Amino acid sequence: MSPKTLYDKIWDAHLAHEADDGTCLLYIDRHLVHEVTSPQAFEGLRMTGRKVRAPEKTIAVPDHNVPTTLDRADATTMTEDSRIQVNALDTNAKEFGIHYYPVSDVRQGIVHIVGPEQGWTLPGMTVVCGDSHTATHGAFGSLAHGIGTSEVEHVLATQTLIQKKSKNMKVEITGKLALGVTAKDITMAVIGKTGTAGGTGFVIEYCGEAIRELSMEGRMTVCNMAIEGGARAGLIAPDEKTFEYCMGRPHAPKGAQWEAALTWWKTLFSDEDAHWDEILVIKAEDIAPLVTWGTSPEDVLPITSLVPSADSFTGGKVEAAQRALDYMGLKAGQPLSEVEIDTVFIGSCTNGRIEDLRAAAEILKGKKVKDGIRAMIVPGSGLVRAQAEEEGLADIFKDAGFEWRLAGCSMCLAMNPDQLAPGERCAATSNRNFEGRQGRGGRTHLMSPGMAAAAAITGKLTDVREMM
Amino acid sequence: MEKFNTLTGIAAPMPLINIDTDMIIPKQFLKTIKRSGLGVNLFDEMRYDDDRNEIPTFVLNQDAYRDAQIIIAGHNFGCGSSREHAPWAIADFGITCVIAPSFADIFHSNCFKNGILPIALPQEQIDVLMKDAEKGANARMTVDIEEQTVTTSDGEVFKFEVDAFKKHCLMQGLDDIGLTMEKAASIDTFEAAAQTQRPWV
C-alpha cells in the first residue's frame, strides 16, 4: 500500500462516494451546531420537509450571543435579536431531536470546548460545524473544519459534505519551547511565516517535538488558528496524551469498544515516506512571546520588537499595513512594549481552557490589575469555570481585579454585550484582530494568556518573561 | 437558486488585500434568522459613519458603482469566519461575481451555494481589470461562465478556471442537497459498513 498522511487515512475512511470528476461525499461523524449559523439551515429543512439524518451525531450549544455576566438568566441582559437566535436553537434542537446543552446547563460553553470536553470529539473522526474555528478539534487527530450554513443544511439532511481533497502540508516544530513561550506563540509564529493565505487549499499536520510536548489544551490552541493561516483544517496525530484525555469522557467509548477504538486510533499517523505538497520547519527555540500589531493575524512580532513601517513590506501589503497602523493608532518605530492598553480579554475557543486559566493565574497570583484597566476572564465552558473555582484560580483572578465571567464567546467577536468601544485597545487571547472584530473601532492585540495577564498588571503590552 | 448566466455589468474596484468576513458583514448583522435583507449592511463599517451616513469615499457609495454587479479585489478575499452571511450580503446587494487573485477556502465554497461566481486570476490580470473597473459606470465587463472568460470594456479577454461540477450547479441553479440525496444508497452502504468497523462513532 502506498504511504499515506494522517489526512489521507481519515479521508479514505470517510469516503462515501466519489464521482468521476473527483467530487466526493465525505461522511460526517460529528456535526456541532451553534445559534448563529444554523437557523437558516433548519428553516431550509422545514421548507423542504427534510429531516436530520443522524440526530444522534448532531450536538448543539448556544455560545456566540449569550451574555457572560452572572445575571444572564435575567432576559433583559440580551438584545431582542440575540434572544430570538438562541430561542430558535432551543426550538430547533427539540423539534429535530438533536443533543443540546442549553444556557442553563453547567456543561454549556463554547462549542469547540464543549465537544472535546464531553467526548464527542474523538481521534479519526470527521467533525464539522458552521464555524471556522472547528479546526480546533484537529488536535485529536480528527479531520475538522468550518462550513457555511448551506453546508450545515447539507450535513443535517445527508450526514455528508461535498468535498474535493485538499493538499497536505507538514508543519514541524522542532526542539523545545523556551520559558514563557506557549502553544499560542507556536500557532501565531506559523501564521507569521505562511501569511493568512499560505494554508489555503491545504490541511496542515503539526508535528515535531514541541507539538508532542504540548498538552491536549495546547494542541487545541495550535489547531484552532489553522484557519487564520488559511488552512481548512489542522491536525495533530493522536498519542497517549490524546487517549488519556478521551478516556472516561461522557461520550467516549467504554470497555470492548474503547479497546477496538484504541486499536484503530493507534494507526492514525502519517507514514514515514508519505507525500507532502509543502513542508515548513520552525525551530521552537526561535519562537519568542508574540503579539500582533496590525489587523491581520499574520501581523505578528516578538514583544521585544518595534512597530514596523508600512514601506518595510511589498506589494499590496504596503497599503494594507498603512491602513492597519492608522486603524491601530500606532507609529512605526514605537516599541511594542510601550503600547498602552485599556482592556484585557482572556478566553475564547483559542485560549479559554483550564490550562490557559492556570497560565494566567500563575502571572496574576498576588498581583493587581493596573488602575483604570478593564479586565475579564471568560472560561470556555461551565465545567472549565467549575474546575477553575475548585483549583482556587477564580479567587486569584477576583483578588487581582479581574471580572470572573460565565462561559461563552464573549469579546472574541462581540456579538454579545462584551464589546470594545471605538479606539479602545485590548490585549486579547482570542484569534482575530480584524478591524471591528471586538467592536467597531476597537483595537485588538492577540497574544497568549500569560502575556495578556502581564499586560493587565502593567497596563501596556508586556514581555511575560519579565514576570516569571 | 437562480441560474448564473452571462453577466455584463459594472465592476467596483476594491484594491485591498485580505478583505475579511468581518469587513464584508460585521457581526451585529449575523443575528438574523433569515438569508435575505443583508445587502444594505454589506461592508457596513466601511460604508457608513457612526451616524449611519454614507462615507462618500467608499466605492459602493459612489454613483458610478451603486449598481455594481462585480467586485475586483486584492488577494485572500473572504478570509476569516465561515459566516455565509458574507455571500448572502454580497448577493443581496446585487453582486454575483467577485474577481481576485485568491480567495479564502470556506468563503469560496459558500459563494457557489448562493449563485455567486468567485474568479481567481493572476495578479497582472487583476491589475488590468482593476484599472478597467476604475473607469466607472461606462466601462462594463462581461463574465461568460460557459466560455470561462472575463472581457474588459476594451475587449481584452482573460480565461479563468472553475471546477466543472460547481460550474454545472451554478449554471443550472441546482440544489446540492437534492443531488446528494440521489446518492442515498451509497450513503446507506457506507454508514452500515462504518457502523461495523467503528461502532463507537
Q: Which amino acid is at A459?
A: G
Mean pLDDT value of segment A147-159: 98
Between chains, do A25 and B186 touch, taking CB under 8 Å as contact?
Answer: yes
In a domain, B195, yes or no: no
Cα(A139)–Cα(A222) distance, rounded to whole angstroms? 8
Between chains, do A36 and B31 touch, taking CB under 8 Å as contact?
Answer: yes
Task: Determine the residue among B19, B21, B82 to mutate to test chain A binding: the one whose Cβ has the most chain A Cβ atoms within 10 Å.
Answer: B82
Mean pLDDT value of segment A277-299: 98
Instruction: State the Rg of chain A over Cα.
Output: 21
CA dist B105 → B79, B80, B108 (Å): 8, 10, 5
B35 reaches A (C-beta below 8 A)? yes
Mention every residue, 6+ apart, whose C-beta is less than 8 A from residue A96. A42, A45, A51, A52, A55, A58, A156
For B23, nearest residue in chain A (alpha carbons): A435
Asked whether the beta carbons of A432 and B80 are under 8 A apart, the reply is yes
In a domain, B201, yes or no: no
Residue A245, H or E segment:
helix A240-246
Q: Which residues of A touch B34 (CB under 8 A)?
A: 40
The C-alpha cell of A444 is what?
A: 485588538
B114 reaches A (C-beta below 8 A)? yes
CA dist B11 → A132, A152, B100, B159 (Å): 29, 31, 12, 17
Question: Other C-beta atoms within 10 Å of A241: how many?
Answer: 17
B36 reaches A (C-beta below 8 A)? no
Output the CA angle A381-A385-A387, nearest 5 degrees: 115
**What is the tens place of the pLDDT at every residue in A323-377?**
999 999 999 999 999 999 999 999 999 999 999 999 999 999 999 999 999 999 9
> In B52-113, which ranges are E strands?
70-73, 97-100
Task: Identify the band that residue A166 occupies on the pLDDT scale cut at 50, 70 and 90.
Answer: very high
User: What pLDDT score was predicted for residue A99?
Assistant: 98
In a domain, B121, yes or no: yes
pLDDT of A1 higher than 80: no
Question: Other C-beta atoms within 10 Å of A323: how many?
Answer: 16
Q: pLDDT tens, position by position, for chain B (201 residues)?
A: 788 989 999 999 999 999 999 999 999 999 999 999 999 999 999 999 999 999 999 999 999 999 999 999 999 999 999 999 999 999 999 999 999 999 999 999 999 999 999 999 999 999 999 999 999 998 899 999 999 999 999 999 999 999 999 999 999 999 899 999 999 999 999 999 999 999 999
User: What pLDDT score was predicted for residue A76?
Assistant: 85
In chain A, which among 212-231 make CB contacts under 8 A with chain B? 227, 230-231
Strand A160-163, strand A143-146: pairing: unpaired
pLDDT of A61 higher than 80: yes
Mention every residue, 6+ apart, whose C-beta is less than 8 A from residue A363. A450, A453, A454, A457, A464, A467, A468
User: What pLDDT score was predicted for residue A22?
Assistant: 87
In a domain, B196, yes or no: no
For B201, nearest residue in chain A (alpha carbons): A29
pLDDT of A75 higher than 80: no
Q: Which residues of B touch A227 (CB under 8 A)?
A: 106
User: What pLDDT score was predicted for residue B150?
Assistant: 98
3-state secondary structure of B127: helix
Greatest alpha-carbon pair distance for chain B in Å reads 63
**What is the tens place of the pLDDT at every residue in A77-120?**
899 999 999 999 999 999 999 999 999 999 999 999 999 999 99
* Interface predicted TM-score (ipTM) of this complex, two decimals: 0.94
Asked whether the beta carbons of A341 and A442 are under 8 A apart, the reply is no
Question: Other C-beta atoms within 10 Å of B54: how many?
Answer: 12
In a domain, B191, yes or no: no
In a domain, B59, yes or no: yes
A65 reaches B (C-beta below 8 A)? yes
Between chains, do B33 and A85 touch, taking CB under 8 Å as contact?
Answer: yes
Closest approach of chain A CAs to the CA of B51, in angstroms?
13
The C-alpha cell of B112 is what?
A: 457557489
Greatest alpha-carbon pair distance for chain A in Å reads 65
Domains of chain A: 6-165 (3.30.499.10), 167-238+269-286 (3.40.1060.10), 290-467 (3.30.499.10)
A319 reaches B (C-beta below 8 A)? yes
**What is the tens place of the pLDDT at every residue in A30-54?**
999 999 999 999 999 999 999 999 9
Asked whether the beta carbons of A305 and A330 are under 8 A apart, the reply is no
Q: Which residues of B touch A57 (CB under 8 A)?
A: 201
Q: Quick one: DSSP state of residue A196? A: T
Neighbour-count burial of A161, counting CB atoms closer than 10 A to its CB (0-12 exposed, 13-18 middle, 19+ buried): buried
Mean pLDDT value of segment A240-245: 98
What is the length of chain A?
468
3-state secondary structure of A404: strand
Structural domain count, chain B: 1
3-state secondary structure of A260: helix
User: Across chain A, what does the average pLDDT equal?
Assistant: 97
The C-alpha cell of A432 is what?
A: 482575530
User: What pLDDT score was predicted for residue A123?
Assistant: 98
Phi, psi of A201 (to 5 degrees): 90, 0
B1 reaches A (C-beta below 8 A)? no
Query: What percent of chain A is predicted at pLDDT more than 90?
Result: 97
Task: Identify the band that residue A74 occupies on the pLDDT scale cut at 50, 70 and 90.
Answer: confident
Of residues A134, A150, A414, nearest to B27 (C-beta): A414
Of residues B31, B50, B87, nearest to A415 (C-beta): B31
B26 reaches A (C-beta below 8 A)? yes
Q: Which residues of B touch A160 (CB under 8 A)?
A: 180, 187
A157 reaches B (C-beta below 8 A)? yes
Over A120-186, what HEC string results?
Answer: CCCCCCEEEECCHHHHHHHHHCCEEEECCHHHHHHHHHHCEEEECCCEEEEEEEECCCCCCCCHHHH
User: What pLDDT score was predicted for residue A73?
Assistant: 86
Q: Which amino acid is at B175?
A: D
The C-alpha cell of A44 is what?
A: 431550509
Query: What percent of chain A is predicted at pLDDT more than 70?
Result: 100
* Chain centroid to CA A58: 20
In a domain, B199, yes or no: no
Give the residue among A95, A102, A118 at the shortest CA–CA distance from A65.
A102
Residue B140 domain boundaries: 7-174
Of residues B28, B83, B180, nearest to A160 (C-beta): B180
Please count the CA atoms within 13 angstroms of the CA of A465 that sit on its side-chain side.
Answer: 13
Strand A403-404, strand A374-377: pairing: parallel
Residue B158, H or E segment:
strand B157-159
3-state secondary structure of B121: coil
User: What pLDDT score was predicted for residue A77?
Assistant: 86
Phi, psi of A210 (to 5 degrees): -65, -30
Residue with cell 497570583: A365
Q: B144: domain CATH number?
A: 3.20.19.10
Closest approach of chain A CAs to the CA of B115, in angstroms?
12
Cα(B42)–Cα(B88) distance, rounded to whole angstroms? 9
Cα(A13)–Cα(A36) distance, rounded to whole angstroms? 31
Of residues B16, B18, B82, nearest to A147 (C-beta): B82
Task: Identify the band that residue A189 occupies on the pLDDT scale cut at 50, 70 and 90.
Answer: very high
In a domain, B183, yes or no: no
Cα(A326)–Cα(A331) distance, rounded to whole angstroms? 8
Mention every residue, 6+ apart, whose C-beta is less than 8 A from residue A380. A109, A110, A112, A113, A347, A348, A349, A352, A353, A407
A322 reaches B (C-beta below 8 A)? no
Q: Which amino acid is at A99?
A: H
